[in-house]
Structure 1
């Protein structure tokens, strides 16, 4: 019997060229690489993670949780230990560290809470312990903020500081806010706070305030936002503070959702973008996160009937560089290695360019994590990259549906939120990824839905084998080996596949003996030789 290798008939490749921007974990020359979609072993929480900060090899997380547990352990299972609102983990291993302050939050069951906490049911409100953690530039301190009113037995009204070397609570930093602190930014000299508050230590401060980093004293810096501030970040030059949220005015000047304030005197800075649509009777959009890569700045948004994707902008004047209009509120972003990663519940990206065409249409399950090139040229159409890990949403914030926070140290990308599974494996509250070079990509193509091939005897000792392609979470190219029942590779093919566009493939086995019967199965293989196999076909008699 003679075996001939015939290249696959891959119609998809003939009509969808591969552009240079579409990175994955095995990128072509000149492309940036994404982290793998393989979730690394990581301790879990029993609640929601709302913020993550990485400093000195330690990942600090904050949110609304009472306990943490090892990876693979169910809630309440062996090894679970108390951590209330705050916890710390080894960034490289995902293991729990001893740091164990307790962040106590007030709870309310009446209308008093409407100005301070989130309504989750009739006359029931929840105040989340920790909303934000940010480190000082030298890494010697972390600042935490949220709804808490005590750290351990010490009074701390919604903001506190810790020494990272000792883990001790800073005895001097203890401002008193009258409402939630949601955002922090820190320079060498100043600590900035933003949120829902209107007074700080008895002084009027309308949702923005600043403290001397050395003395912890409230400064005279006092710009105003007319509604809540959710996110802040200093520009690379350090002369402007970019502010995001659901406000309509900064210092009384109309600009919705995203603006700039000068750090020198609190005056409103020039900001030329109006990409966050103002509130109307039918739509509403607000900024959820802001990050910088040292050159550009990026913001994410949550929208109701309007923009809820990501955008890049010039830190000096706010002018837009690119915008991503995927639908599905984005709660968190993190930029690493030239890629902007995001946590969302994206359900439609059909307006985005991908393989020279559109991105995914309306889809379920929603995609909780996406990646896109951070360095897209000004005015160019933004793409989404081939990186599609996913998570199952939790129940605390069903309207947000998954990720709430992201951070990285250049090697490890961490995400936290309200989720109970990652890539269909039980994992609550926290997860992380890294590059193939740090931890090899071991996730193969998707097994689910990869069906048995169909066969056609063509005469002359030839059999045509046809099958539907599968796809891979972090590699766009999948190679296929068609295995005859004698164990030999009958023919091969390869294709570029995404979950919303799986091509039908075929190849031909030749040199077969007429009258013989054969079955076939197809093996799908990613660039790192991770593989899955289809079920076996029905038998065919060679003609």
Structure 2
């Protein structure tokens, strides 16, 4: 035993305890509850504390609860330690406890190569777990000569006799009870011709097995029945036969059993990794150049035929199987050919069923890291450990972060427990129908649970009013929604949402979304919704990354590049109306979280305002969401002159241009349609340009985007592809709007909108029959009861109806106090006060006379800390506009009602009179 690493393992165990309380090799932990993850995933995405390397890990193998790590590195250090600190010297190899991630004692092997850079590139364990085979580029182990391959006892790490001389790098190893298979860059083994693949006995004697390849071998896997060997690499010919990158040969002779000639694997692609299970084998493929094959292939062991393949781009390096799930390491950046995410950020770890290439909800991540910026290089499964009941996935490579936290070279994940909570939901709320409020939210992300449970809470409630499940992936986080009905018009409510995974991990509660229940309609929104939009973004959010869709289709959007939210004044006035502002940069835009097939007929509609002379794309359809698109059309953009261009790409790029400019700093209504009547461009409700002959557009799966995207190759391309200005009320239809409907939309924007005015009392008090001379004008609470009597009086100063509107509704809202007796089993009547009274001087003995008309009734069943409302007779309230309205709340029952008065600090707790004004 050499160096200080192994002697100091006890010292570092205390440091590791700060990161996680993991057991030592002799301790056992309960098995993880796999059902807590979204099936069939059985491994969490929560990274576990693991010792790190200062370089690239190329190979991993496990035996007896020990994970052997090989690569190109000279030190290891504890988890959490920064590079250059707490480092212990090694030489391209370390052995770690598979369950704790800590170094094990008595396994200090150092692989060196004199003046040449040494590396351990491959590791394999014999079927009985007793022998570790090591391959790579090295000339000695612990100072004793070795020619790129060696064997060791897995328990003691003592070297075993294995006199094999390989003159070039050994990149792949596989072992059976009888022989060891080698793959790499060599042309001879033990002085005999063997091109890139060879087999030796377990004692190191060269076998007659021949599987000669014309290019390097990179992966070897023996089939479970031991009859065949699967070979992967760069080769185009194997044993003189046409078989590119993949072949199946006889385990005894090396003769070809199954060839895979071009183009089964694309000629610029190679096989970097292989694994098997009871029914199949699986390849990890890396390509060079655009469009090469970088994904994974599943093949049947019974026939060696393809079961499935995925075509994600991003250099797959290795694969492993755990409980029917294929886990892979790569830097996937474009899976659009799989119906998944378009070209964009890199994902480094995936999970797929062995029976189906669909990506499952498991997305821990690394970065590209060191060297060639590949990220993960090797992935293995560690199961049935003697010291831990859990299963583990170990990942090695050149990465320097895991799940956003610094961690070099190595990481691992277990079958439990699942401790990671979902992201905090982003929530919005709107009210477009009387007495209703709709809560919308962007679904949260959990790295190992794609199916989450959401709970909606109203006001300060602790019990959810709605619970629903929803699925999400990092690139597709669909909008979810809930409509709360039976609300009192004019009453405000706030809503919060939480997300929980199957293990019960719950997100932080969302920020509150507050909305006032509508008392009537909004003419512009009503006109838009009547025409069945696919998506409708009102842009009322004041922050965050989420654009709420109010169309009813839950096609929410995502903001990138931090556009300005909460822009006022908005294009269409209504309570809470806002817009969105774009900077003019190509990276600032909003995209639909939903991908759509290109619509043959469509309409786009929005309001815009700008003074820019740089032009820019206002709205359009694009293939990408994270990057500038290479496929793009069905768009409207502004030229530097301020003129608008609407174009599609069918038989070439076809477009129409507005005669005049619109960069005048005013809000303008924009609509563009394509249908059987061709291209039609409308501004402010009027047709300004058209071409009846352009009835087709480009066909691809894409996303609606506002604010910016590529305009390369288009007529009079502006100085900027990004729009500098504001947008509002963005709508998309997958059908053609008529000219009459577009004009109707434009005109509806100037129609009066129903608005609610909330009034606070200017005076309030209650009187008590049991204390007939007492006054209570300074009390923070008010009381109502029939016997023994309490009566409450309220005074409101009413405004005149705004010009062009009338009073359409009135409601009285109170909030009960927090005392347990505040609620009442009786109903309470609201009537007009006809006599005189004052807040300071009115008692039971001097109480005012009341009118006989019942204006409204507060229903029974009230509870503490609750809002309760009653609609008042509008015709009885209307004569008091511009003057004073005095109200009394009385009862004939024996159960009292207590509610807050105007003297309390919280405005929302005070008795409020809600007046709804709108068009006659």
TM-score tier, shorter chain, comes to 0.7 to 0.9
Structure 2 matches for 1:102-141, cutoff 5 A? 102-105=110-113, 127=117, 129-141=119-131
**C-alpha distance in structure 1 between counterparts of 2:68 and 2:119, whole Å:** 14
What is residue 326 of structure 2 aligned with on the other side?
A: 340
Report the CA distance between 1:190 and its aligned residue.
Answer: 0.7
Unaligned runs of 5+ in 2: 1-33, 384-390, 519-920
Out of 97, 104, 108, the residue aligned to residue 97 of structure 1 is 104
SS in structure 2 at match of 1:243: strand
Query: Retained in 2: the 8 A contact 1:25–1:35?
Result: no
Deviation at 1:273, TM superposition (A): 6.7
* Residues 271-290 of structure 1 mapped to structure 2, 5 A cutoff: 271=259, 276-277=264-265, 279=267, 284-290=268-274
Matched, 1:158 2:148: yes
Shift of 1:204: 2.2
Equivalent position to 1:425, from 405, 414, 419? 405
Deviates more, 1:285-294 or 1:477-486: 477-486
The answer to which of 150-159 and 483-492 deviates more is 483-492
Asked whether the 8 Å contact 1:272–1:317 carries over to 2, the reply is: no
Q: Please name the residue that 2:216 is paired with.
A: 228
Secondary structure of the corresponding residue to residue 73 of structure 1: coil
| Residue of structure 2 in register with 1:379 after alignment | none
| Residue 361 of structure 1: aligned partner | 342
8 Å contact from structure 1 (residues 273, 319) kept in 2 = no
Please identify the structure whose Cα radius of gyration is greater: 2
Residue 508 and residue 155 in structure 1: after superposition, are their counterparts in 2 closer, same or farther (change >3 A)? same
Match of 1:464 in 2: 438
1:87 aligned residue (91, 94, 100): 94
Residue among 38, 45, 49 paired with 2:46: 38
Mark the CA change 1:514 to 1:264 in structure 2 (over 3 Å): closer, same or farther: closer
Task: Tell whether 2:284 aligns with 1:300.
Answer: yes
Q: 56, 61, 64: which is aligned to 1:53? A: 61
Equivalent residue in structure 1 for 2:237, among 249, 269, 272: 249
Contact in 2 for aligned 1:272/1:318 (Cα 8 Å) = no
How far apart in 2 are the matches of 1:286 and 1:369? 19
* DSSP-derived class of the 1:351 partner: helix
CA distance in 2, matches of 1:242, 1:539: 61
Hey, what does 1:6 align to over in structure 2? none
Note the C-alpha offset of 1:27: 6.3
Separation of aligned partners in 2, 1:219 and 1:361: 48
For residue 330 of structure 1, give the secondary structure of its aligned residue in structure 2: coil
Q: Which residue of 2 aligns with 1:370?
A: 350
8 A contact 2:242–2:261 mirrored in 1: no
Return the offset for 1:508.
3.5
Shift of 1:294: 2.9
CA RMSD of aligned residues (A): 2.3
Paired residue for 2:196?
A: 207
Report what 1:318 is aligned to: 304
Contact 1:451–1:534, Cα closer than 8 Å, also in 2: no
Query: What does 1:508-523 align with in structure 2 at a 5 Å threshold?
Result: 508-509=483-484, 517-523=492-498
Higher relative contact order structure (alpha carbons within 8 Å, sequence separation ≥ 6): 1
Is the alpha carbon distance of 1:322 and 1:67 closer, same or farther for their aligned partners in structure 2, counting shifts above 3 Å?
same
Which residue of 2 is the match for residue 184 of structure 1?
A: 173
Contact 1:271 1:317 in 2 (8 A): no
**SS of equivalent residue, structure 1 residue 300:** strand
CA distance in 1, matches of 2:103, 2:449: 31
Contact 1:270 1:317 in 2 (8 A): no
Q: TM-score, normalised by structure 1?
A: 0.82
Superposition deviation, residue 32 in structure 1 = 2.9
Number of matched pairs: 474
TM-score, structure 2 normalization? 0.49
Instruction: Answer yes or no: is the 8 Å Cα contact 2:246–2:260 preserved in 1.
Output: no
* Contact persistence 1:288–1:301 (CA under 8 A): yes
1:62 alignment partner in structure 2: 70
Structure-2 change in CA distance of 1:43 and 1:265 (3 Å): same
Distance 1:26 1:274 in 2: 43
Q: Answer yes or no: is the 8 Å Cα contact 1:453–1:536 preserved in 2.
A: no
What is the aligned partner in structure 2 of residue 351 from structure 1?
337
Secondary structure in structure 2 of the residue aligned to 1:502: coil
Deviations along 1:162-185, whole A, 9 cap, x unmatched? 111211122x21322211111111
Indicate the larger mover: 366-375 or 130-139. 366-375
Contact 2:112 2:118 in 1 (8 A): no
Q: Which residue of 1 aligns with 2:377?
A: 404
> How much does 1:40 deviate?
1.7
Measure how far apart 1:105 and its partner are.
Answer: 3.4
> 2:37, 2:448 within 8 Å by CA — same for their partners in 1?
no
Q: How far apart, CA to CA, are the structure 2 residues paired with 1:393 and 1:518?
A: 46
